[in-house]
């Protein structure tokens, strides 16, 4: 399973781009798992990691985008905690993600 090509957050639609580390994935000399650019509406995911890490990274960046979109003002530690918590809930409750038949 690959990552989706885009994600809609509020009225914005973010492109999801998997790529090797470059300027978009380097912050203060540190290689990042992912990065969100609000003005360009793009989420970059480091393609050098395993699928599990990419999915968690995407969720982490989506939480950052939600935070920005709705002016929640989360701290990085809160985003990390929410990411871990939501990944656990989604893994342990796969029915939450299943589409219902109409």
Q: How confident is the model over 19-32, as pLDDT tens digits? A: 887 766 777 888 88
Q: Which CATH number is 47's domain given? A: 3.30.2010
Round to whole Å and give the CA distance between 63 and 22.
Answer: 22
The whole domain housing 23 covers: 6-93
User: Three-class SS of residue 71?
Assistant: coil
What is residue 99's DSSP assignment?
Answer: P
Round to whole Å and give the CA distance between 45 and 35.
Answer: 7
Question: Does residue 1 sit within a domain?
Answer: no
pLDDT at 102: 63
pLDDT at 29: 81
Cβ neighbours for 97, distance < 8 A, ≥ 6 positions apart:
90
Question: Does residue 101 sit within a domain?
Answer: no
Whose CA is closest to 46, among 64, 67, 60?
Answer: 60
pTM passes above 0.85: yes
Nearest 10 degrees: Cα torsion 83, 2, 36, 65:
-50
């Amino acid at each position: 399973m690959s990552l989706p090509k885009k994600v809609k957050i509020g009225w914005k639609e973010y492109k999801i781009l998997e790529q090797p580390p470059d300027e978009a994935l380097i912050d203060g000399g540190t290689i990042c798992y992912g990065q969100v650019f609000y003005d360009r509406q793009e989420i970059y995911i480091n393609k050098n990691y395993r699928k599990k890490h990419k999915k968690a990274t995407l969720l982490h960046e989506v939480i950052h985008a939600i935070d920005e979109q709705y002016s929640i003002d989360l701290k990085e530690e809160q985003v990390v905690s929410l990411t871990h918590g939501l990944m656990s809930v989604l893994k342990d409750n796969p029915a939450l993600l299943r589409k219902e038949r109409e």
